[in-house]
């Protein structure tokens, strides 16, 4: 699994999780810290480009920032 960590607004966590996991089997989303709105996206290696396309599209609509591993 390829892991990416994203920081976003707390109110957007559910929306981002719903959209990413709607593409069943590509990736899973885990909330790392709901107070600071950090999520982890675990991506199946064969689908990295697909998930990155979805994330880039989301970044155009929502304030999402990719961060380094928070721990």
Domain boundaries, the chain: 2-67
pLDDT tens string 1-54: 999 999 999 999 999 999 999 988 899 999 998 889 999 999 999 999 999 999
- Which three-class secondary structure string do you get for the chain? CEEEEEECCHHHHHHHHHHHHHCCCCEEEEEEECCCCEEEEEECHHHHHHHHHHHHHHHHHCCCEEECCCC
Q: Residue 43: its pLDDT value, please?
A: 95
Please identify, in words, the CATH class of the domain defined by 2-67: alpha beta
């Amino acid at each position: 699994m390829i892991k990416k960590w994203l920081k976003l607004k707390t109110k957007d966590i559910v929306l981002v999780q719903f959209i990413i996991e709607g593409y069943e089997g590509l990736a899973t989303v885990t909330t790392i810290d709901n107070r600071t709105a950090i999520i982890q996206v675990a991506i199946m290696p064969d689908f990295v480009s697909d998930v990155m396309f979805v994330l880039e599209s989301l970044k155009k609509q929502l304030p999402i920032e990719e961060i380094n591993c928070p721990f």
